[in-house]
Amino acid sequence: ENVLTQSPGTLSLSPGDSATLFCRANHTVSNNHLAWYQQRPGQTPKLLIYGASTRATGIPDRFGGSGSGKDFTLTISRLEAEDFAVYYCQQSGYSPRTFGQGTKVDIK
Amino acid sequence: QLVVSGGGLVKPGGSLRLACDASGFRLSDSYMSWVRQAPGKGLEWLSYISLSGSVSDYAASVDGRFTVSRDNARNSIYLQLSTLRVEDTAIYYCVREMLNGAFDLWGHGTLVTVSS
């Protein structure tokens, strides 16, 4: 199994700040099949980034994904109130598909 | 959209069948998966089914107890949950899977509660 470890567990920031979230796999994620999701309280997860760096439809360019191999990063610039949520990474290059445990971005 | 139904309260050892009905797109053109989220916890991928239904894959935690299937004519997929355990209590989501393995469309989810 390709275990995804996200860090930090919680990120406390203020609106307007930038956030950097990390996702590390214990095996190479083949074909960069790495995605990021946002889940706001009480809501269904929403796809933000796929293929490690491609923004999904309608996702603002404040969200950026990077990385390859085992190490991936989600960057959120100029945090807005709606960005305070939990973020998950997910890989599907290695069976079984797996999610990271999540990073919570909350308001400082 | 994806509409999930079939959740509810069931006793340990019991069974349930979840259904996921698609609208606005052809399910026959889509790879599909099931994902769950226990109360206050993170996301857990459970199962995948190919376009025709001939290929499926399961997480170790549910392999042998859950079975995924699809009926493309009805634009629906299903998840049969058997030998349920208390730790299977969660919201169950049906999700559409892109070719690159990302889940681009999520159903609203249905709550399954396993309790005596």
Region B8-33 average pLDDT: 95
Q: Which residue of B has its CA nearest to A102?
A: B42
Q: Which residue of A has its CA nearest to B57?
A: A96
Average pLDDT, chain B: 95
Residue A81, Cα to own-chain centre: how many angstroms?
Answer: 17
B16 pLDDT more than 90: yes
Q: How far away is chain B from the Cα of A26, in angstroms, using its nearest Cα?
A: 17
- Would the CB atoms of A50 and B45 count as touching at under 8 Å? no
Region B110-114 average pLDDT: 97
C-alpha–C-alpha distance, residues A53 and A64, integer Å: 7
C-alpha–C-alpha distance, residues A75 and B54, integer Å: 39
Q: How confident is the model at residue A93 (pLDDT cuts 50, 70, 90)?
A: confident
C-alpha–C-alpha distance, residues B102 and B95, integer Å: 9
DSSP per residue over B78-89, as a string? Answer: EEEE-S--GGG-
Reported as a single tens digit per residue, the pLDDT across B48-103 is 999 998 999 999 999 999 999 999 999 999 999 999 999 999 999 999 999 999 99
B100 chain-A contacts, CB cut-off 8 A: 31, 33, 35, 50-51, 92
Reported as a single tens digit per residue, the pLDDT across A64-92 is 999 999 999 999 999 999 999 999 999 99
Residue type for position A90: Q
Q: How far away is chain A from the Cα of B16, in angstroms, using its nearest Cα?
A: 22
pLDDT value for A94: 80
- Would the CB atoms of B100 and A50 count as touching at under 8 Å? yes
Which residues does B contribute to its contact with A (CB < 8 Å)?
33, 35, 42-45, 48, 57-60, 93, 97-98, 100-104, 106-109
B98 chain-A contacts, CB cut-off 8 A: 50
Q: How confident is the model at residue A95 (pLDDT cuts 50, 70, 90)?
A: confident
